[in-house]
């Protein structure tokens, strides 16, 4: 078992908030019950295969820096097998029960579609055996439709239908792999499904192409017995200048326009929210408000850098706001909390993977406890209810029920006179949130 991560001997223990062991959990206690369910099942953490196993430390200004014992650069299938073993060692030692992958993370692309399929099938069989043995599950799968040169001008939104066909082939097999491994979700993130310049882009046509791929995927998925959820992961840009799934609201509009809303929900990523000029909380609230919050990619950006830095999430305030939305809708049925996060280029040791995940897991575990306490005490709900109470009766109720007209309202306003300005108590509420976050009673 101590093959790739010898610095961590066994499963990372829970030692409580007073521990000074850097390789122990302070808050994440997998078996502890919160709202009648274990922390493990409330949070459903997942390791992102592409970052944690395949990440090299490369950035736009420099190539790979990490020297990973599972990645020797010889035969790509041997590397893939070693990488899978390393993944399960990491998952088991972290006590993370789920993972997510792109088809090309798991198995290298071959010279032909047939060879790529064979590579993937082989790795899926191995992964299935390791899952059985370890109890680890697949959270979601996806197809990498952005790295290969053929996808330079997009995959489904490419002007060449042959590229569309290659994308369709990949989606088919990635979905097959997801089904074979019991994944509860399948994600579409449209990295190059957007444009670089409007001068050479027929936006309306490209959006219709994208909808066509989504529609045939749903049809195929239901045929092959996929009972999980299809997720779309919004992002405003990068690598495209403009991505069609810009943010949660835009994506919901797109799904509605193409009558795909019944089959899809959203996978919301923190750093993508920031890039769209929103908070994580905002994007989660938009999705949840439409009953379409499916899953979360947890990470964080750097306020001084304008790209998807995908850092591990350590912001307790942001995590608490996220967990308030998640618990508020009763949890995540098919989704979970996926660490779509990568180490910094300078964090080159394999043990850094442990520090990073432990920090992120503790942050969300504590956020879960804080959010649970706030919901139990009703500290935000009560004032919110009061603030809108007037819409529950009289004219307020009639407005919402579509029973009021402009003339009637004019008359009512005339009769009632000027409304009173009432404080929204923003600062007081902000203090309440801080009280809970810093409370020593929540342990």
CB of 143 to ligand XLS, least distance (A): 8
CB of 226 to ligand XLS, least distance (A): 18
The gap from C-alpha 64 to its chain's centroid, in whole angstroms, comes to 25
370 contacts 80 by C-beta, under 8 angstroms: no
Q: Token digits for 424? A: 């929204």
Q: What does the DSSP assignment read for 235-277?
A: -S-SSSSEESS-SHHHHHHHHHHTT-TTTEEEEEEHHHHHHTT
Residues from 259 through 318 that contact Ni ion (CB under 5 A): 269, 297, 308
Place of tokens 């001084």: 304
**CA atoms of 303 and 396, how far apart (whole Å):** 41
Residues from 162 through 201 that contact ligand XLS (CB under 6 A): 187, 189
- Taking the least distance from each CB to ligand XLS, the nearer of 14 and 364 is 364
Opening angle at CA 39, ends 34 and 44, nearest 5: 135
- Taking the least distance from each CB to ligand XLS, the nearer of 23 and 169 is 169
Task: Say whether residue 308 binds ligand XLS (CB under 6 A).
Answer: yes
The enclosing H or E element of 204 equals: helix 203-223
- What is the sign, positive or negative, of the torsion defined by CA atoms of 296, 297, 299, 303? negative
3-state DSSP assignment of residue 270: helix
- How many H-runs (helices) and E-runs (strands) does the chain carry? 16, 12
Among 40, 193, 206, 233, binds ligand XLS (CB under 6 A): 233
CB of 11 to ligand XLS, least distance (A): 27
- Taking the least distance from each CB to ligand XLS, the nearer of 93 and 102 is 102
30 contacts 38 by C-beta, under 8 angstroms: yes
CB of 354 to ligand XLS, least distance (A): 21
Task: Say whether residue 142 binds ligand XLS (CB under 6 A).
Answer: yes
Among 105, 176, 193, 340, binds ligand XLS (CB under 6 A): 340
- Taking the least distance from each CB to ligand XLS, the nearer of 32 and 137 is 137
Active site residues: 102, 105
97 contacts 91 by C-beta, under 8 angstroms: yes
- Taking the least distance from each CB to Ni ion, the nearer of 93 and 228 is 228
Among 40, 206, 340, 362, binds Ni ion (CB under 5 A): 340
In this structure, the chain runs to a length of 443
Residues from 74 through 103 that contact ligand XLS (CB under 6 A): 102
Task: Say whether residue 362 binds Ni ion (CB under 5 A).
Answer: no
CB of 216 to ligand XLS, least distance (A): 19
Task: Say whether residue 245 binds ligand XLS (CB under 6 A).
Answer: no
142 binds, among ligand XLS, Ni ion, none (CB under 5 to 8 A by kind): ligand XLS
The gap from C-alpha 190 to its chain's centroid, in whole angstroms, comes to 14
Residues from 100 through 129 that contact ligand XLS (CB under 6 A): 102
The gap from C-alpha 255 to its chain's centroid, in whole angstroms, comes to 18
CB of 333 to ligand XLS, least distance (A): 19
Opening angle at CA 91, ends 106 and 21, nearest 5: 145
- Taking the least distance from each CB to ligand XLS, the nearer of 42 and 243 is 243
105 binds, among Ni ion, ligand XLS, none (CB under 5 to 8 A by kind): none
Single out the residue of 303, 305, 265, 262 nearest to residue 283, CA to CA: 265
Site residues for Ni ion per CB under 5 A: 269, 297, 308, 340
Site residues for ligand XLS per CB under 6 A: 102, 142, 187, 189, 233, 235, 269, 297, 308, 340
């Amino acid at each position: 078992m101590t093959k790739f991560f010898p610095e961590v001997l066994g499963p990372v223990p829970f030692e409580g908030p007073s521990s000074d062991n850097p390789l122990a959990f302070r808050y994440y206690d997998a078996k502890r019950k919160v709202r009648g369910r274990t922390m493990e099942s409330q949070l459903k953490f997942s390791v992102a295969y592409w970052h944690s196993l395949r990440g090299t430390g490369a950035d736009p200004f420099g190539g790979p820096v990490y020297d990973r014992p599972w990645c020797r650069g010889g035969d790509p299938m041997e590397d893939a097998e070693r990488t899978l073993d390393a993944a399960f060692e990491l998952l088991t030692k972290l006590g993370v029960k789920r993972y997510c992958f792109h088809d090309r993370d798991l198995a290298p692309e071959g010279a032909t579609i047939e060879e790529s399929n064979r590579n993937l099938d082989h790795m899926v069989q191995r992964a299935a055996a390791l899952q059985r043995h370890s109890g680890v599950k697949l959270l979601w799968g996806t197809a990498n439709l952005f790295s290969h040169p053929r996808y330079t001008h997009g995959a489904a939104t490419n002007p060449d239908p042959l590229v569309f066909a290659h994308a369709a082939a990949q989606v088919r097999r990635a979905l097959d792999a997801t089904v074979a491994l019991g994944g509860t979700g399948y994600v579409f993130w449209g990295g190059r499904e957007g444009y670089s310049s409007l001068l050479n882009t027929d936006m309306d046509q490209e959006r219709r192409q994208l909808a066509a791929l989504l529609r045939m995927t749903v049809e195929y998925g239901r045929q092959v017995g996929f009972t999980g959820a299809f997720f779309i992961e919004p992002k405003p840009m990068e690598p495209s200048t403009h991505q069609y799934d810009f943010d949660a609201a835009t994506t919901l509009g797109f799904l509605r326009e193409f009558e795909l809303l019944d089959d899809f929900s959203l996978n919301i990523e923190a750093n993508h929210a920031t890039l769209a000029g929103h908070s994580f909380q905002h994007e989660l609230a938009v999705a949840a408000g439409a009953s379409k919050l499916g899953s979360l990619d947890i990470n964080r950006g750097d306020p001084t850098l304008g790209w998807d830095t995908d850092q591990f999430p350590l912001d307790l305030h942001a995590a608490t706001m996220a967990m308030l939305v998640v618990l508020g809708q009763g949890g995540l049925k098919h989704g979970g909390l996926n660490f779509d996060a990568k180490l910094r280029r300078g964090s080159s040791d394999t043990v850094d993977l442990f520090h990073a995940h432990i920090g992120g897991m503790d942050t969300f575990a504590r956020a879960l406890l804080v959010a649970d306490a706030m919901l139990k005490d009703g500290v935000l709900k009560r004032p919110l209810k009061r603030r809108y109470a007037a819409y529950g009766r009289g004219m307020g109720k009639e407005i919402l029920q579509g029973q009021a007209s402009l003339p009637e309202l004019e008359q009512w306003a005339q009769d009632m006179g000027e409304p009173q300005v009432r404080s929204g108590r923003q600062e007081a509420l902000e203090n309440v949130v801080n009280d809970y976050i810093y409370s020593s009673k929540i342990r």
